[in-house]
Chains A and B, each alone.
Chain A
Amino acid sequence: MTQRLTGIAASPGIAVARAVVLNREEYVPARTTVERPEQETARLHEAIGQARAEIERIRDATEQKLGAEKAAIFEGHLLILEDPDLIETTESRIREEAVNAEYALHETAQTFVEALTALEDETLRERAADVRDVSGRIIGILRGAPRRDLSQLDEECIVVAADLTPSDTAGLNLDAVRGFVTEVGSRTSHSAIMARSLDIPAIVGAGPGIRAVADGALVAMDAVEGVLLIDPSPEELAAYTDKKAAYERRQRELRAWAQRPSASADGRRVELAANIGKLEDVQKALDNGAEAIGLFRTEFLYMGRDRLPTEEEQFQSYKYVLEKLAGKPVVIRTLDIGGDKELPYLGLPQESNPFLGRRALRFCLSRPDVFRPQLRALLRASRYGNLKIMFPMVAVLEELTEAKRILEEEKQALVASGEEVADRIEVGMMIEIPSAAVSADLFASEADFFSVGTNDLIQYTMAADRMNETVSYLYQPYHPSVLRLIRHVIDAAHAAGKWVGVCGEMAGDLTAIPLLLGLGLDEFSMSAGSILPARERIGSLNYGEWQALSREALNLRGSGDVQAFVQDRLEGRRDI
Chain B
Amino acid sequence: MITQSFTVANPAGFHVRPIKSFVQAAAAFPCKVSVSCKGKTVNGKSSLSMLTLGIAAQDEVTLEIDGEREEEAMKTLGELLVKIHE
Write the residues of chain A forming the contact surface with B, with a CB cutoff of 8 angstroms: 72, 75-76, 79-80, 83-86, 112, 115-116, 119-121, 123-124, 127, 131, 278-280, 300-301, 305-307, 309-310, 312-313, 316-317, 319-320
Which residues of B are found within 8 Å of A306, using beta-carbon distances? 58
Which residues of A are found within 8 Å of B49, using beta-carbon distances? 83, 85, 112
Known: A76-B16, A124-B51. A84 touches B46 (CB 8 A): yes
B57's nearest neighbour on chain A, judged by CB, is A305
Known: A85-B43, A131-B48. A313 touches B54 (CB 8 A): no
B52 pairs with A116, CB closer than 8 A: yes
Mask of B56-80 contacts with A, CB within 8 angstroms, 1/0 = 1110000000000000000000000
A312 pairs with B9, CB closer than 8 A: yes
A127 pairs with B54, CB closer than 8 A: no
Question: How far is A467 from B12 in the complex, measured between Cα atoms in Å?
Answer: 29
- The answer to the question of B23 belonging to the interface, with a C-beta cut-off of 8 Å to chain A, is yes
Mask of B1-41 contacts with A, CB within 8 angstroms, 1/0 = 00000010111110111001001000000000000000000
Known pairs A305-B58, A320-B84 / 20 extra A-B pairs, C-beta < 8 Å:
A75-B20, A79-B20, A79-B23, A79-B47, A80-B48, A83-B47, A84-B45, A84-B46, A85-B42, A86-B48, A119-B52, A127-B51, A300-B11, A310-B7, A312-B9, A312-B82, A313-B11, A313-B57, A313-B84, A317-B84
B14's nearest neighbour on chain A, judged by CB, is A124
Which residues of B are found within 8 Å of A123, using beta-carbon distances? 12-13, 15-16
Which residues of A are found within 8 Å of B82, using beta-carbon distances? 312
B9 pairs with A316, CB closer than 8 A: yes
Which residues of A are found within 8 Å of B20, using beta-carbon distances? 75-76, 79
Q: DSSP class of A's interface residues: helix, strand, loop or mixed?
A: helix
A317 pairs with B16, CB closer than 8 A: no
Q: Smallest Cβ distance from B31 to chain A, in angstroms? A: 14
Which residues of B are found within 8 Å of A121, using beta-carbon distances? 13, 15, 54, 56
Q: Smallest Cβ distance from A48 to chain B, in angstroms? A: 15
Which range contains the number of B residues in contact with the other chain? 20 to 34
Which residues of B are found within 8 Å of A131, using beta-carbon distances? 48
Which residues of A are found within 8 Å of B12, using beta-carbon distances? 123, 279-280
Most chain A Cβ neighbours within 10 Å, of B17, B49, B84 = B84
Question: How far is A85 from B26 in the complex, measured between Cα atoms in Å?
Answer: 14
Question: How far is A67 from B16 in the complex, measured between Cα atoms in Å?
Answer: 18
B11 pairs with A278, CB closer than 8 A: yes
Question: How far is A300 from B82 in the complex, measured between Cα atoms in Å?
Answer: 18
23 contacts between A and B (CB under 8 A): A72-B17, A76-B20, A79-B47, A80-B48, A83-B46, A84-B46, A85-B46, A86-B46, A112-B48, A112-B51, A116-B48, A116-B52, A123-B13, A279-B12, A280-B12, A300-B11, A305-B57, A307-B58, A310-B9, A313-B11, A316-B84, A317-B84, A319-B84
Which residues of B are found within 8 Å of A300, using beta-carbon distances? 11
Question: How far is A85 from B51 in the complex, measured between Cα atoms in Å?
Answer: 12
A312's nearest neighbour on chain B, judged by CB, is B9
Q: Smallest Cβ distance from B40 to chain A, in angstroms? A: 9
B17's nearest neighbour on chain A, judged by CB, is A72
Most chain A Cβ neighbours within 10 Å, of B10, B20, B52 = B52
The 7 closest A-B pairs by CB, nearest first: A316-B84, A85-B46, A115-B52, A119-B54, A313-B9, A85-B49, A112-B48
Question: How far is A287 from B18 in the complex, measured between Cα atoms in Å?
Answer: 24
Which residues of A are found within 8 Å of B13, using beta-carbon distances? 121, 123-124
Known: A76-B20, A83-B46, A85-B43. A279 touches B51 (CB 8 A): no
Which residues of B are found within 8 Å of A317, using beta-carbon distances? 11, 84
State which of A112, A279, A307, A313 has its C-beta within 8 Å of the C-beta of B52: A112
Question: How far is A365 from B83 in the complex, measured between Cα atoms in Å?
Answer: 29
Which residues of B are found within 8 Å of A112, using beta-carbon distances? 48-49, 51-52
Which residues of A are found within 8 Å of B7, using beta-carbon distances? 310
Question: How far is A120 from B45 in the complex, measured between Cα atoms in Å?
Answer: 23
Q: Smallest Cβ distance from A87 to chain B, in angstroms? A: 9
Question: How far is A67 from B54 in the complex, measured between Cα atoms in Å?
Answer: 28
Known: A79-B23, A121-B56, A306-B58. A116 touches B51 (CB 8 A): yes
